[in-house]
Structure 1
Amino acid sequence: MGGGAAGFFGAIACAEANPDLQVLLLEKTGKLLSKVRVSGGGRCNVTHACESPAQLVAHYPRGSKQLKNAFQQFGVADTIAWFARRGVTLKTEADGRMFPTTDSSETIARALEDAARQAGVRILTNASVDEIQAEERGGFSLKLSGANAPLHGPLLAQSVLIATGGNPKSANYEWLRALGHAIAEPVPSLFTFNVPESPLSELMGVSVPYARVVLAGEKLQYEGPLLVTHWGVSGPAVLKLSAWGARRLSELGYVGTALINWIPAHTEETLRPWLQQFRQENGKKTVASNPQFGLPQRLWRNLTEQAGIGPETRWSDLPAKAQNRLLELLLRSPLAVRGKTTYKEEFVTCGGVVLSEVDLKTMQSRRVPGLYFAGEVLDIDGITGGFNFQAAWTTGFLAGQAMALRNLE
């Protein structure tokens, strides 16, 4: 159930491991692999270059400890090899993200669709599963609706893989609760900050390669690239912070103060003497027109304006009060966060099926034999950078293999 990354991977793994099985993939919409096609700006960030499961699990706010064994069974190297066998070569970028060499998500989508077709997987779109009932003698009865749903009676299956993805509404998990599973309450993850009264509002599109974002009053901070948008701030630093702080930010109602350190290599102890020496050596230069620390001109000018420094003010004439204000803004620019982006712009949900109720070696339910889970429907989510796709490939593969073995027995 679910025509996304985890659903396709599970169906392919099951059909390839046991060709005698009839494997049916159900998708409630008319579109297959929709997240795969739009991820990474249409390039598809397939996975992340991590040498070991221990290194990989460090990037999962939820599910890190539980996934270590799963990644030992099917990890990054296995993902690379899986796609290579199907004619898709992946490349590694400087930050560790891995993309197809074509830089097109269609390459990944086509590889998955071709592999499913070659394995004999039957795909049914516009078929929504409204109810699942476990039969007394084993197996399941699925009640379907939609344009392509069977006209006569329910669909019968020996095993069922649920790979329906995450959902922001708790009520949408009721059908899983009805099967006896507990659900970790869903909240959004990987979102950007809305700052309606941002002092940076005129800097849309300006980015810095490395900044630190701290949530004032909380133990939440993250470093990385940062992008100024027309609604606030985005980029990996913000997205990763939102992932690690997903539940706390939800409790706060997405209201707080984000402190931006534009030069995290510096502290107040190192920055103050640096400025003093720079003033002595460059006294005749104007402050506003000579950006420092590799910061973009527009950002530097904005910070000097916020510090009350005039466009003609020279370093030698800079008042101590203005210098202190500039130093503070470089290390702790305050932004009043008042919300996040809408769910349609988010890709990940924190929450889902509680992991203690799932055997992470096979992805089979500990409560309902023959019921399996893969992907974001589980209470597993990673930060941005290909980690959520890797979790989908891994859990989908293990579930598919286990289903094939179970039905073979």
Structure 2
Amino acid sequence: MQIAIIGAGASGCFAAINIKRMMPQAVVTVYESGNRALAKVAVTGGGRCNLTNSFAEVKNMDSVYPRGGRLMKKLMHWFNHNDTCKWFEANGVKLTTQDDQCVFPASQNAMEIVSTLLRMMNREEVALKTTHRVASITPSCNEDGDTGDPPTRNGYLISFSDSTNKPAFADIVVVATGGSPRRNGLSFLNSLNLKFVEPVPSLFSLCLDDNTLKKLTGTVIKNATVSLTGTKFRASGALLITHWGVSGPAILKLSSYAARHLYENGYKATISINWTGDKKENDMAGYLGETAVRNPQKQLQSIYPTYLNSRLWTYIICGCGLNPEIRWADLGRKSYNKLASALTNTVLTVNGKNRFKDEFVTCGGVALDNINPSTLECRNHPGIFFTGEVLDIDAITGGFNLQAAWTTGYIAATAISGR
């Protein structure tokens, strides 16, 4: 049996290895459009490879998978984060779980994951063909057949953009090309008449108009809550002030939840930042009053909440129109209220997005109603499977996107081996 994997990313390579382990007699070939396999895995997690998450703090799948949460909940009954850890550990990778529940190789080197997968592909005799960009996949039959005379085999003809690459026939095709930032990136699937969800970017930081705030580049708030005003989209976590605006886990989560909304509005929006995490305005007003009682003769700029730094505190003070050198004893009730409001609800104007390093993620892709949710096989084209981010599945940062790649790759392999 000839099995073609389209895409040498995490999901495609993982599927290929497991198919060969389950079906040693199959001929498995991975076709990659680029010059090398697993290029995205090599840079994920800042080059350390956040390959999954412990899921210890996940309350429900929709909170980490804004698209595809229901499907992931189903699939992870069969292959979950614990299975992922066992798989890599069984293949020689020591893992470590951070306080934020992100799982990394103990070496803190993404290339260990890359080399492990490539080594397993080589061991299982999976063929890898790079610079093979697929132009089309069309239902076909191989007139040579296994026995030659006559019978023919129904399958799929794979054509490539480069005419020097000979078309290939496959009995089964696994599409694992990853996310495409534009619909035309999925044009090689046009002959299959599938339903698509328009792809748009996800996981990005936000550009702001506030030049004063951007001067605080490098400032980290360990726990902030950010919301998109006028919507229900909100996220909490660490926030980083950058020279273009804001980034960090809180912002990246928000961008994932609100990816389509922000796209439809041209990445023009307003956000509200609660620098205190989840404290209420009234609580902060009380806290500020108590601070004044304890420090009446101190300057306002010299005493501030421990989760802020002096530069951010001064920015907040000046934003309220107050003099940083005023004594705490000289503050009036209105000043307390202004500061409390700014600490819990600083409103800023978003003017565009900034790509999150090289870890480009999209929402959208092949619509989930094209596939059997138990096997990931295409409903209208038996023998074609979809795995990874080419599907309308994407996650917040924290190892969840790679877990989707491992899970869907394994489920497809299992389904193919059971045919």
Q: TM-score range by the shorter chain?
A: over 0.9
Aligned residue identity for 1:395: T
Q: Are residue 284 (structure 1) and residue 292 (structure 2) matched? A: no
User: In the alignment, which of 257, 270, 288 is matched to residue 270 of structure 2?
Assistant: 257
Superposed, 1:72-221 pairs within 5 Å as 72-135=77-140, 137-146=153-162, 149-150=165-166, 154-221=167-234
| Partner residue in 2 for 1:239 | 252
Once the two structures are overlaid, the 10-residue window that deviates more, 202-211 or 251-260, is: 251-260
**Residues 43 and 359 of structure 2 are in contact (CA less than 8 Å); yes or no, is this contact kept in structure 1?**
no
- 1:344 and 1:165 map into 2 onto residues whose CA distance is 17
| Partner residue in 2 for 1:42 | 47
**Residues 75 and 374 of structure 2 are in contact (CA less than 8 Å); yes or no, is this contact kept in structure 1?**
yes
- 1:23 and 1:54 map into 2 onto residues whose CA distance is 38
Identity within the alignment, %:
40
User: In the alignment, which of 15, 24, 45 is matched to residue 19 of structure 1?
Assistant: 24
**Residues 56 and 101 of structure 2 are in contact (CA less than 8 Å); yes or no, is this contact kept in structure 1?**
no
Aligned residue identity for 2:70: K
Give the TM-score taking structure 2 as reference length. 0.92
- 1:190 and 1:334 map into 2 onto residues whose CA distance is 21
Aligned residue identity for 1:292: P
Q: 1:373 to 1:40 in 2, by over 3 A?
A: same
Q: Are residue 379 (structure 1) and residue 392 (structure 2) matched? A: yes
Aligned residue identity for 2:374: K
SS of the equivalent of 2:204 reads: coil
| Partner residue in 1 for 2:144 | none
Please state how far the C-alpha of 1:147 moved relative to its aligned partner.
8.8
SS of the equivalent of 2:136 reads: strand
Aligned residue identity for 1:145: S
**Residues 263 and 293 of structure 1 are in contact (CA less than 8 Å); yes or no, is this contact kept in structure 2?**
no
Q: After the TM superposition, list the runs of 4 or more consecutive aligned residues in structure 1 that deviate by more than 6 angstroms.
A: none
Please state how far the C-alpha of 1:57 moved relative to its aligned partner.
5.5
Structure 1 segments unaligned to the other structure (5+ residues): none
SS of the equivalent of 1:72 reads: coil
- 2:193 and 2:247 map into 1 onto residues whose CA distance is 39
- 2:63 and 2:135 map into 1 onto residues whose CA distance is 36
Total equivalences in the alignment: 403
Aligned residue identity for 1:367: N
Please state how far the C-alpha of 1:343 moved relative to its aligned partner.
7.9
**Residues 136 and 191 of structure 2 are in contact (CA less than 8 Å); yes or no, is this contact kept in structure 1?**
no
Structure 2 segments unaligned to the other structure (5+ residues): 1-5, 142-152
- 1:311 and 1:180 map into 2 onto residues whose CA distance is 64
Aligned residue identity for 2:132: A
**Residues 198 and 335 of structure 1 are in contact (CA less than 8 Å); yes or no, is this contact kept in structure 2?**
no
SS of the equivalent of 2:226 reads: strand
Aligned residue identity for 1:170: R
Once the two structures are overlaid, the 10-residue window that deviates more, 110-119 or 195-204, is: 195-204
C-alpha deviations, 1:99-123, integer Å up to 9, x for none?
0000000110011001111111010
Q: 1:319 to 1:337 in 2, by over 3 A?
A: same
- 1:363 and 1:15 map into 2 onto residues whose CA distance is 18
Task: Give the aligned CA root-mean-square deviation in angstroms.
Answer: 1.8
**Residues 44 and 104 of structure 1 are in contact (CA less than 8 Å); yes or no, is this contact kept in structure 2?**
yes
| Partner residue in 1 for 2:10 | 5
- 2:157 and 2:306 map into 1 onto residues whose CA distance is 63
Q: 1:40 to 1:148 in 2, by over 3 A?
A: farther
User: In the alignment, which of 65, 68, 83 is matched to residue 73 of structure 2?
Assistant: 68
Aligned residue identity for 2:128: I
Q: 1:233 to 1:148 in 2, by over 3 A?
A: farther
SS of the equivalent of 2:272 reads: strand
- 2:23 and 2:330 map into 1 onto residues whose CA distance is 78
**Residues 44 and 359 of structure 2 are in contact (CA less than 8 Å); yes or no, is this contact kept in structure 1?**
no
SS of the equivalent of 1:247 reads: helix
Q: 1:245 to 1:371 in 2, by over 3 A?
A: same
- 1:51 and 1:284 map into 2 onto residues whose CA distance is 46
- 1:93 and 1:404 map into 2 onto residues whose CA distance is 35
Aligned residue identity for 1:149: N
